[in-house]
Homo-oligomer: A and B are copies of this chain.
Amino acid sequence: MLEVNGRRYQLPKQPTVVVCVDGCEPDYLAQAVAAGRMPWMKRTLAEGTALVADCVVPTFTNPNNLSIVTGAPPSVHGICGNYLYDTESGTEVMMNDPKWLRAPTILAALANAGSVCAVVTAKDKLRKLLGKGMFESGSAGSNDSPRGTDGAGAGQGARSSICFSSEKADAVTVAENGIDDVLGLVKRPVPDVYSAALSEFVFAAGVALMATRRPDVMYLSTTDYIQHKHAPGTEGANAFYTMMDGYLGQLEAMGCVIALTADHGMNAKTRMDASPDVIYLQDRLDGWLGAGVARTILPITDPYVVHHGALGSFATVYLPAGRVADAQARIGAMRGIERVLTRDEAARVFELPPDRIGDLVVVSERSVVIGTAAARHDLSALDAPLRSHGGVSEQRVPLILNRRIDGLEPERRWRNFDAFDLALNRAQ
């Protein structure tokens, strides 16, 4: 029995796989099941455990992946976006360096307790965060200066835990990733970073790892390239979920306990003419307060923005003292805005680290996204009507186990970061 971030976890008795399907609005599953495209899922929903859970707001990839692997909200683990205004340095920086992670992961605790862990992510941006502490000897997550160059380096202390991304599957080393020749193992080329194949590689690698190395615990995390382009029930979506269904069936056939959840949902974010329905908040603030007086941060920002133009339904705003209440009222009165919370309110309501969000947190409605300045968004590469996430409207996600769990509390608010608790403590 391990304790991580105040929750207790049993060591796995059976190989256990936690899958985070990026952008998996529950309706993707419903429509694919209805179309007869997910036979494994249909059986699992009937015979296993089917919950709809809330992910964390902002409904973005990194905060939620870290919540799932720590079993805790961002107020505990500190990762509240991809992108941060670092008030100490006065600069805007990516938050994908493991130094930003404030809590140990369940994976690191398991690895350090002797379990063999394997992590496969689609994009490399998540790998270092998820792998933090996995390759250290000693107690889970207690070592903040890992041996590797970047926090995920594989030392000799670990019994062959593994952590790599599809994106960099051709650049793995035993020292860094705990494995080499992933391409030989998976028997596929490195996929394009903007492709469904990037996620398929994650599943194919997971099945190959389970077949060859049988890790005790595996965490698979896909990318939402398909979900950003294809609505539930469309052929583009159904083909993706059919692919996934086949791999999940293979993992089950190998005896795995599987918990499937998502980092966030996904919704259409367009005007009726199919253009993105954007509120350019920095432009509005500049108009009210003068240029550059306020600073709008979009935590969705990362190097991979082609498919969403860095447009999501969540922003945080830094303001001079004395301007916060007025800005809160003015932003709140705008068409398309759902909620505007002060730092303290947002930290409480959304369980966010108050020192890493601005003076205001702004959430837009289901079909509306928030931009900074119009000039800072390149929408030229959007080749389909915008679908995106980030808001409260994308908070519902699947939480599915391929084992029946009796005695579940019927009105409990489940969270995606209950996945390891259910998989390790209640499904085996």
Residues of A within 8 A of B (CB): 26-27, 29-31, 33-34, 41-42, 45-46, 50, 52, 231-234, 268, 270-274, 333-335, 367, 384-385, 396, 398, 400, 410-411, 413
Can you name the residue of chain B whose Cβ is closest to the Cβ of A43?
Answer: B273
- Contact status of A33 and B234, CB under 8 A, knowing A26-B367, A335-B410, A410-B335: no
- Known pairs A33-B273, A52-B272, A231-B232 / 11 extra A-B pairs, C-beta < 8 Å: A26-B367, A30-B274, A31-B231, A31-B274, A34-B270, A52-B271, A233-B234, A334-B411, A335-B410, A335-B411, A335-B413
The CA-CA distance from A30 to B367 in the complex, in Å, is 11
Contacting pair A270 B27 (CB below 8 A): yes
Tell me, rounded to whole Å, the shortest Cβ–Cβ distance linking A407 to chain B: 16
Please tell me how many copies of the chain the complex holds. 2
**Contact of A234 (CB < 8 Å), options: B41, B50, B234, B398:** B234
- Chain B residue numbers with a CB within 8 Å of A234 are 233-234
Residues on B with beta carbons closer than 8 Å to the beta carbon of A334: 411
Distance from A337 Cβ to chain B, minimum over Cβ atoms (Å): 10
- Contact, CB under 8 Å: B385 / A272: no
Given the known inter-chain contacts A268-B27, A367-B27, A411-B334, please indicate yes or no for A34 contacting B274, CB distance below 8 A: yes
* Residues of chain B lying within 8 A (CB to CB) of residue A273: 30, 33, 42, 45-46, 50
Nearest chain B CB to A320's CB is how many angstroms away?
24
Among B335, B367, B384, B400, contact of A272 (Cβ-Cβ < 8 Å): B400
- Residue of chain B at shortest CB distance from A267: B27
Name the B residues within 8 Å of A268 (CB-CB): 27, 30-31, 232
Residue contacts A-B, CB under 8 angstroms, 25 given: A26-B367, A27-B268, A27-B270, A29-B272, A30-B272, A30-B273, A31-B268, A31-B274, A34-B384, A34-B385, A45-B271, A45-B272, A45-B273, A46-B273, A50-B271, A50-B272, A50-B273, A52-B272, A231-B233, A233-B234, A234-B234, A272-B400, A334-B411, A335-B413, A367-B396
- Most B Cβ at <10 Å: residue of A27, A42, A271, A367: A27
Q: For the complex, what is the distance from the CA of A277 to the CA of B92, rounded to whole Å?
A: 43
Cβ contacts under 8 Å, A413 to chain B:
335
Q: Lowest 4 CB-CB distances: which A-B pairs, in order?
A: A34-B274, A45-B273, A29-B272, A30-B274
Q: How far is the CB of A308 from chain B (nearest CB, A)?
A: 16
- The answer to whether A333 touches B411 (Cβ under 8 A) is yes
Minimum distance in angstroms from A383 CB to a CB of chain B: 10
- List, in ascending order, chain B residues with CB within 8 A of A396's CB: 367
Which B-chain residue is minimally distant from A273 (CB atoms)?
A: B45
* Partner among B52, B231, B272 whose Cβ is within 8 Å of the Cβ of A231: B231
Min C-beta distance of A261 to chain B, whole Å: 12
Q: By CB atoms of chain B within 10 A, which of A41, A46, A272, A335 has the most?
A: A272
In the bound complex, what is the Cα–Cα distance between A285 and B59 (angstroms)?
A: 35
For A400, the chain B residues whose CB sits under 8 A away are 272
Q: How far is the CA of A334 from the CA of B411 in the complex (A)?
A: 6
Closest to A336 in B: B52
Q: Find chain B residues with CB under 8 A from A46 CB.
A: 273
| Closest chain B residue, CB of each to CB of A24 | B272
Whether the pair B233, A271 counts as a contact (CB closer than 8 A) is no
Residues of B contacting A384 in the complex (Cβ-Cβ under 8 angstroms):
34
CA distance A147 to B336 in the complex (A): 47
Question: In the complex, A233 Cα to B274 Cα: how many Å?
Answer: 11
Contact assessment for B398 and A272 in the assembled complex, using a CB-CB cutoff below 8 Å: yes
| Neighbouring B residues of A45 by C-beta, 8 Å | 271-273
